Structures are given as C-alpha cells and as structure tokens.
Amino acid sequence: MFAGKLILAQVMEYAPWHTFRRIVEKHRGDFNVRSFNCLDHFLCMAFAQLTYRESLRDIEACLRAQSAKLYHLGIRGKVSRSAIADANEGRDWRIYFEFAQALICIARKLYAQEPLAVDLTETVYALDSTTVDLCLALFPWAEFRKAKAAVKLHTLLDLRGAIPTFIHISDGKMHDVNVLDLLTPESGAFYVMDRGYLDCAHLYSLHQAGSFFVTRVKSNSKFRRVYSNPVDRSTRLMCDQLIELVIFYSHQGYPQRLRRIRYTDPEGRRLIFLTNNTALPALTICELYKSRWQVELFFKWIKQHLRIKRFFGTSQNAVKTQVWIAVTTYVLVAIVKKRLNLDLSLHSILQILSVTPFEKTSLIQLFANMASDQNNDDNSNQLFLL
C-alpha cells in the first residue's frame, strides 16, 4: 500500500525482512552494536547501488542531505563514512550472502514460466566467470599476477529470467574448472559452459548426478568415432557423432560415450560441441550453447549499472559484502519488475529509481507514464537484461 511512502521504501517492501532479521540474529550481526545496525548498513549500501554513488563520502553527503526522510526509509542510525566503512570491514559478509539467496529463491519462482531461447521444460544454466581488476597494493589478498590483483565472480545463471543462482567470489588465480567442485548438480538440468570447464572427471560427476552439459571441444582433444547420425547439411550441421575418448587419463575421467556435434555458423566459423545428451536434436544443442551468451550480457550489465568495479573497502569482507549487496539489489529490482508486471527493461527501471528515491509517489504511478515501447527508443548500443 502506498500511503505516502518514499519510492525507495516501497521498493524495499518487496524484500523478506523477517528472513533478514533471522539471518542477522544467526550470525550475531548486531551484537554489541549501539547504532547503525545491519539494516542501516544494508539500506545505505543498497541506496549506493541504486543511485550510482561512487564513494563513502558520496553516500554520506547524499543521505545527510535527506536526513529528515531517513527515518521513513528505515535508517535509524547516524549515517557517516566511518560507520559505513566499519560495517563493511566488520559485519559478516555471509549475512548479505544468505539474504541474497533468499531473494534469489523468490525471483526464480516468479520467473519460472519465462520462455527460453529453445523449447525446453528443463532448467538451463549458463556457467562462466568474470574478472574485476584491482590494485595489488590495496588488495594484497587478491593476488592475480606479479603486479596485479583481481577478484573473480564465478556465476551460475538461470536462463529463465537471467537470475544468478550461484556466485562464488575468489581471487584471480582460481581456475574456472575448480568451481565445479562447489556446485550441487541438479538432476535433469542443463549446464552450458565454454571449453574452460572441459575437465573429464568433473563432467562425469555431472553425468552421474543425472545432469546434462553442453560445452566446446578443445583443439587437442583425441577421440574415436563410434557411430555417426545422419544430418541435413543444409542446416549447417556437419556431423553428429557418438565418440569415445582415447587418451588414457581422459578415458579414465569420462569412461562413457559422448556426443560430438560439428556446426558451421552463418559467419563461416566451425564450432564443435560436446554433450552427454543423446535425445535432443543436434540443432537444439547448438541453440543451447548460443544461449550461453546471456551470462556474458549479465556480466557486462552489472559492471555497467551496479557498483562492483570500484569498492568502498579494501578487505576481503568489504569486497564480498559490496558484491552480495549489489546482487541483492539486482534481484530485488527484478522482483519489483515482475510483481508490478512492468513492461520496461531493468536498465530503465534503475534509471527511474536512481533519480526518485525520496519522492512520495506510488511505484505503479511512477512507471505508468512510461510507454511500453520505450525500450526501442534507447541507445542501440545499450545492453539490456530482463
């Protein structure tokens, strides 16, 4: 209900605050805290994400300029740079990680009926990682190369609604394939990955769990053809084969047969896919791999529109806290979009929210004047998600 509430307060009403309080109590986040508790911390950091704040000084100046409205937003403690900095350093990042997981569960249910690029009823995930470059002098714990630091965001994206279901934050040295050890495979789901995740033992673990994978073949892969399925070359399919790996350690890691599909795209590039699914048409497998591009768009989108390239703290806890609050903000706005049945892109919604957080207008009325086809008038170079 509107009742004269601030725009930002109305957005925050879509978050399960009873769950947040339970998580804070579990991790004793407010233990021995006199003012500026975990809720104040989260609201200030979420405000920074929604309104594109660049620094702690920026957050402090903007919120203090609206000091009379902070109580109605839910912020009870005194906002200051030192308070936010101390919270970033000292509050357990797992509080915001678990809160993000609760919001992700809500969002996945809302987007469960979203169409996929291919006609499938099963869940399809895209797995990839992105690197955020850092200064080694300021972030020595995130060593990447000799004179460079970085963190990696290993992300599993549900392609129905582009909702991140799993994110692991590591230093830049962690190899992509090692993140497969951290995943709990979902039976019947499809995992679409690039060839950086091609490891026979890990892929066989997915196969044994009843999951399907689609990936690319490395140039030095050795195999023996067992059987060739007929293909229509007019569809750019070159071959559809059942193969066995012949290198000793590869065969030990994956002792069963695999399906190898060779396809030539419209630009003439030859692509070779590897999968353990033998039931789907070969062209559907190719389309599945093409849909992996959504995770690349997701990374570009969050780097452009959320604050995960410049951090408000230098410790590992501060970096993880900021990343998880950014993910929480992204998912929360996606929930608002779905609950209000908005026909706007997530980028357009964020643009509107960024300049109206302290306005007293209902969310429905705020977006009512936006034409449903406004997305077509935006800059064609702008990436869109949701």
Name the token pair of 349: 């919604």
The domain limits of the chain are 7-97+320-377, 195-276
CB atoms under 10 Å from CB of 89, counted, come to 13
CB atoms under 10 Å from CB of 290, counted, come to 15
Nearest-angstrom CA–CA distance, 9 and 358: 9
What confidence tens digit (pLDDT) does each residue in 35-84 have? Answer: 899 999 999 999 999 999 999 999 999 999 999 999 999 999 999 999 99
Nearest Cα to Cα of residue 51 among 364, 357, 325: 357
Nearest-angstrom CA–CA distance, 43 and 358: 13
Helices (H) and strands (E) in the chain, counts: 14, 10
Are 353 and 11 in contact, with CB atoms under 8 Å apart? yes
Are 203 and 374 in contact, with CB atoms under 8 Å apart? no
Nearest-angstrom CA–CA distance, 276 and 285: 10
pLDDT attached to residue 380: 43
* Tens-digit pLDDT string for the chain (386 aa): 456 889 999 999 999 999 999 999 999 999 988 889 999 999 999 999 999 999 999 999 999 999 999 999 999 999 999 999 999 999 999 999 999 999 999 999 999 988 888 888 899 999 999 999 999 999 999 989 888 999 999 999 999 988 999 999 999 999 999 999 999 999 999 999 999 999 999 999 999 999 999 999 988 889 999 999 999 989 999 999 999 999 999 999 999 999 999 999 888 889 999 999 999 999 999 999 999 999 999 999 999 888 888 899 999 999 999 999 999 999 999 999 999 998 888 888 998 999 999 998 888 888 876 644 454 454 444 444 55
SS3 143: strand
Query: Residue-wise over 237-261: b if at least 16 C-beta within 10 A, else e?
Result: bebbbbbebeeeebbebbeebbbbb
Radius of gyration of the chain (CA): 23
pLDDT attached to residue 372: 43
Nearest Cα to Cα of residue 29 among 97, 103, 102, 82: 97
Query: If you classify domain 195-276 with CATH, what class do you get?
Result: mainly beta
Q: Model's pTM, two decimal places?
A: 0.89
Are 250 and 200 in contact, with CB atoms under 8 Å apart? yes
What confidence tens digit (pLDDT) does each residue in 200-217 have? Answer: 999 999 999 999 999 999
Are 74 and 43 in contact, with CB atoms under 8 Å apart? yes
Are 170 and 151 in contact, with CB atoms under 8 Å apart? yes
Name the token pair of 112: 């469960």
pLDDT attached to residue 3: 65
pLDDT attached to residue 2: 58
